[in-house]
Amino acid sequence: MTTDTRSVNQTITSDPSSSCDVELAAGPWEFDLVAGYGPGASEDDVIPDPVVRPGQLPAAYQRMDEEDLHARIRAAKESLGDRLVILGHFYQRDEVVRHADFVGDSFQLANAALTRPDAEHIVFCGVHFMAETADILARPDQHVILPNLAAGCSMADMADEDSVESAWEQLTEIYGTEPDASGRQPVIPVTYMNSSAALKAFCGRHGGIVCTSSNASTVLEWAFERGQRVLFFPDQHLGRNTAKAMGIELDAMPMVNPRKPLLGQTEQVLRDAEVLLWPGFCSVHKRFTVAQIEAARAQHPGVKVVVHPECPMPVVDAADAAGSTDFIRKFVAASEPGDVIAIGTEINMVNRLAAEYPDRTIFCLDPVVCPCSTMYRIHPGYLAWVLDGIVEGEVRNEIVVDAEVATHAKVALERMLAALPK
Ligand code: SF4
């Protein structure tokens, strides 16, 4: 087996150069004080009451020894039994994931919660849009809890409802609202799962649909059956990579700027467009580069490179394979002992795969440790605090999506579920 010092557990240390954000090295509680997302930041957020703002976790939980926190979490889980389900995203830190009943991507987790009908409390150790989706799909009597309200998603925040509405108005002025001779609408909105409930509802109201990184091409095919063009938000990279793989020319995928007249394009470019891309991106995945892939190939001849489609197009083109977190997991599972695999996705998932397959050399393409810094805000201290609340009869940090928003968002999610690959 090849020995690679990067193969297991690239972690953040107190050395500021150990990670992409110097503030991460300062420790969890100092990082928690750094201004972040916070309650009320999302469109139509219903602000929990009582609300604990980032940095305000009771001191007892901040001071508690980590083993005591784990013991407390285990005790709360045992006492709550089937009344509780804990969901952990692939990108969540290990100290939290070890307590999860299910580990997966956002949509797998929302569906996993549905398999636990007795769970009155769904604790989502992910980010805000994931908890919103779980609330949309959950029964009205189930409570969805996000342990730290500062766990948002910077990509999801790059498309807000006002900007999308304003872009939509400009497009409607150009294209009109009448379908063509084959009955296809001028434009269909498609939102990535990584978006606020308000934008999922926008898609529900305008004949649009939600996609995940696993089913983006199926969803685009669905949209092209019903529309002449697609407005894809918020992730430009997933939109571009998926459309390119479907044979759409780059010239037919202009990026829109909602703050500019004609969205920063000419009318002709907008008329000729097949996919209109929103300028959003993931701060973790945009760090991967072709140079990193070349360095991995030079250092490990025969290395297999697999990346997430939120990476920029040249990175996806230079990799051996690209796909969702579940695709990456299966790619590694299908490899052979002794294989060397370089992965372009979030570090916690890469470290977990490296630990799960010790007979392979698995490392992250990015030599600098760069976790999803918003998901990182869910510390075992926050998990213990919300679980203690449930035991004491108090629901803390509940995520409640406005009923009307939820109704329309569910329409777009159900269209996704009904869209089948060709
Ligand atoms: S990894 Fe990127 S897209 Fe995923 S939750 Fe974090 S910021 Fe959002």
Statement to judge: residues 216 and 325 lie in one domain: no
Confirm whether 400 is domain-assigned: no
Atom from ligand 1 closest to the CA of residue 235: 3
Residue 214 has pLDDT above 70, yes or no: yes
Burial class of residue 181 in the structure, from the number of CB atoms within 10 Å of its CB (0-12 exposed, 13-18 middle, 19+ buried):
exposed
In the prediction, which pLDDT does 3 show?
Answer: 38
Q: For 358, phi and psi rounded to 5 degrees?
A: -65, -15
Pick the residue whose CA is nearest to atom 2 on ligand 1: 282
Q: How far is it, in rounded angstroms, from Cα 2 to Cα 304? A: 14
Confirm whether 198 is domain-assigned: yes
Question: pLDDT of 216-244, one tens digit each?
Answer: 999 999 999 999 999 999 999 999 999 99
Residue with tokens 């090295």: 25
Range of lowest pLDDT (46-55, 56-65, 77-86, 138-147) = 46-55
Kindly state if the Cβ of 203 falls inside 6 Å of ligand 1. Answer: no
Q: How far is it, in rounded angstroms, from Cα 420 to Cα 396? A: 38
Residue at 41: amino acid letter: A
Burial class of residue 178 in the structure, from the number of CB atoms within 10 Å of its CB (0-12 exposed, 13-18 middle, 19+ buried):
exposed
Statement to judge: residues 143 and 216 lie in one domain: no
Q: Return the CATH number at 196.
A: 3.40.50.10800
Kindly state if the Cβ of 346 falls inside 6 Å of ligand 1. Answer: yes
Statement to judge: residues 275 and 412 lie in one domain: yes
Statement to judge: residues 166 and 120 lie in one domain: no
Q: Which of the four pLDDT bands, split at 50, 70 and 90, describes residue 421? A: confident
Question: pLDDT of 56-86, one tens digit each?
Answer: 889 999 999 999 999 999 999 999 999 999 9
Binding residue positions for [4Fe-4S] cluster: 153, 282, 372
Question: pLDDT of 316-334, one tens digit each?
Answer: 999 999 999 999 999 999 9
Statement to judge: residues 214 and 115 lie in one domain: no
Kindly state if the Cβ of 375 falls inside 6 Å of ligand 1. Answer: yes
Question: pLDDT of 86-129, one tens digit each?
Answer: 999 999 999 999 999 999 998 888 889 889 988 999 999 999 99
Residue 422 has pLDDT above 80, yes or no: no
Confirm whether 412 is domain-assigned: yes
Report how many domains make up the chain.
3
Confirm whether 414 is domain-assigned: yes
CB 332 within 8 A of CB 357: yes
Question: Could you tell me the residue range of the domain that residue 354 belongs to?
Answer: 285-364
What is the model's pTM?
0.92
Statement to judge: residues 223 and 317 lie in one domain: no
Kindly state if the Cβ of 256 falls inside 6 Å of ligand 1. Answer: no
